[in-house]
Amino acid sequence: MKKITLLTLILFVNLLAFTQEKIEKSYKLPEVNIKTPEGQTFNTSNISNNGKPVIISFWATWCTNCVKELNSISEVYGDWQKETGVKLVAISIDDARNSSKVMPFVNGRNWDYEVYLDVNKDFYRAMHVGNVPFTVLLNGKGEIVWQHTSYEEGGEVQLFDLVKKLAAGQDIK
């Protein structure tokens, strides 16, 4: 088994060599099935915002910094939406211990985000999230153009600067 895995790794490296020659390709969102708060299946390929930017935020009810970030954004979310039409999709990685408490938690904090449940971290793994909070920005075409881990007070200002650029059609790479 080890030999086969090593062979596969060598193949990966070769594939990498081929892909390096190409121009920077677009990084499309992985297509993974997650759940709505009502328990219905939702595929991440359906995350869209009519050509406007999308913020995807991985969070959990037990992650104090995630809650602080989403509270900070909630204070200015209305203004952000008016100015750029941006949408924030909050992906909760709470497992079966907390998943039924997620929507009451969200509503009890007056958040207006689109919330989905990734109870066994399928989307988290596909997106290579290491720790929460983890934020991803999608441009109008649904391509991943920026990612960031951790949150500190005022970090949402930098996030909004990037959202404004995306809304204006600029490239932020």
Query: Interaction with other proteins in 32-51: which residues (CB under 8 A)?
Result: 37-41
Nearer to other proteins, 150 or 170 (CB): 150
Site size toward other proteins (CB under 8 A) is: 74
**Which DSSP symbol is given to 28?**
B
| Binding of residue 12 to other proteins (CB under 8 A) | yes
R_g of the chain, CA atoms, integer Å: 18
Nearer to other proteins, 63 or 73 (CB): 63
Find the DSSP H helices in the chain: 2-21, 64-84, 102-108, 122-126, 155-167
What's the min distance (Å) between Cβ of 133 and other proteins?
7
| Binding of residue 142 to other proteins (CB under 8 A) | no
Burial class (CB in 10 A: 0-12, 13-18, 19+), 53: buried
Token couple for 148: 């960031």
Quickly tell me which residue has 């039409």 as its tokens: 85
| Binding of residue 54 to other proteins (CB under 8 A) | no
What's the min distance (Å) between Cβ of 123 and other proteins?
12
The interface mask with other proteins, positions 62-101, x = CB under 8 A, is xxxxx-x--x---x-------------------xxxx-xx
Token couple for 154: 């005022």
